[in-house]
Structures are given as C-alpha cells and as structure tokens.
Chain A
C-alpha cells in the first residue's frame, strides 16, 4: 500500500460544476498537507497548504483535512476550463525547518465548456 493514495481519474465535469478531489494516506504522523496544480508539460504549482486538521479557503478553492480519517479534500467551486490540469496532493512530517513531501500520483481534471 502506498503512503498516499489518489485516484488518477480522469475526472470530467461541465463548466460551473463543483469539483471534489481527494487523497487518503496511511502515515498518521503527517502534519502538513498541500495541493499542487500541474498543467501539461509544466512544473507543479502550489495552490494551498494546511497544517493539521481543519478547513482553509482561498477564492474558489477550499482544502479540508480530516486527520481522524486520514483523508484530505480539495473543492473547486464554479470550475472553469482553465482549471483543467492534474491536481497533486502532497503531505509531510513536521521536522525542523525543512520538509520532504510525499506526493500522490495526481488526479487529471477536465472541465469542458
């Protein structure tokens, strides 16, 4: 079993839909949870990160962490064709000043007009 599991999709939705992307993990020591967006032939771009459990909102994006269930989610409201990309979850331990994230394999999202 991988430390971080993520459904590769593709997930295809119409423009304007609410998108839910999820990851599960096995290491209960993870403390930082990140979501990255990766467009084709580009490097990942950090969207959001949260510490421990709870919700965090940034514009159309909401990240949720449920440590009791070892489950994290990213919600995208009013999805746009420009949101079409691969979304990677990542998580890490809290270890001094540096951190080494473990990534999921990414979910491919397609938002069609």
Chain B
C-alpha cells in the first residue's frame, strides 16, 4: 500500500449534479496530481497542486476544479456532471524536492454518472 488514501471508493450520481472527491497524500509529500481513467484507457492528467497552488492543468474544462489544504490533502470537484465523466478518478502524491519522476497513486474513486 502507498499511504495515499481516497474517499469515497464508489459513487453514483445523476447528470447535472456536482461531486467532491477527496485525497490524503502520503506523509512528507507536498504535491498532489489528479487523473481521470476511463475504462480501458490510461490515466489522463487533470491538474496538479503544489503547496496549495495549482501547478499545471490538463485538457479538462473549468467545471473540473480542485483544492489543496495546508496538510497537503486535496479535493477534486466536478460540476454539472456529464455521462462521460463516469471513470476511475485517481490521485497521486509525490515529493518534488527528491524526485518529480516518482509518484504514488491511491486506489481511486469509481464514479458512475447516470
């Protein structure tokens, strides 16, 4: 186990609703990245937070937003849910001052939008 935890594990929402997913990073890590993994696909980068500031964003619309807290835990918020938002949402933490090339993933939150 990596020490990165995510909640909830599963979630069912309907189209148009809003959802908040949570991530606790591994101890000593100050960077959290969020990914969307559709069925049969690799993870797609959503955004990254470093010391509470957004530090890069992938090709996702503004209705995907996030926060990082002083303890380096993080939230992913998705507004106006669409059917295509159904996916596994992964967060990963890393310790950038040591190696930005290694990151540790949590188990993910599986979101189903009906």
Contact = CB atoms under 8 A, between A and B. Distances in A.
Assign chain A's interface to a size class.
Answer: 20 to 34
A19 to B, nearest CB: 19
A44 B43 CA distance: 9
Interface in A25-67: 32, 34, 36, 41-46, 49, 51
Given A98-B56, A105-B40, A42 B107 contact: yes
Interface residues of B, number: 30
Contacts, number: 64
Contacts of B107: 41-43
A95 B62 CA distance: 24
Interface string B30-46: 01010000001111110
B14 interface: no
A46 B103 contact: yes
Nearest to B55: A98
Given A43-B2, A43-B105, A100 B58 contact: yes
Interface in B27-71: 31, 33, 40-45, 48, 50, 55-56, 58
Contact of A46 (B44, B56, B90, B102): B102
B48 to A, nearest CB: 7
Contacts of A98: 31, 48, 50, 55-56, 94, 96, 100
Nearest to A96: B100
Nearest to B35: A103
B2 A90 contact: no
Given A104-B42, A106-B42, A99 B101 contact: yes
Nearest to A88: B42
Contacts of A51: 101
Given A41-B110, A44-B43, 5 more contacts: A45-B105, A46-B104, A98-B94, A98-B100, A100-B45
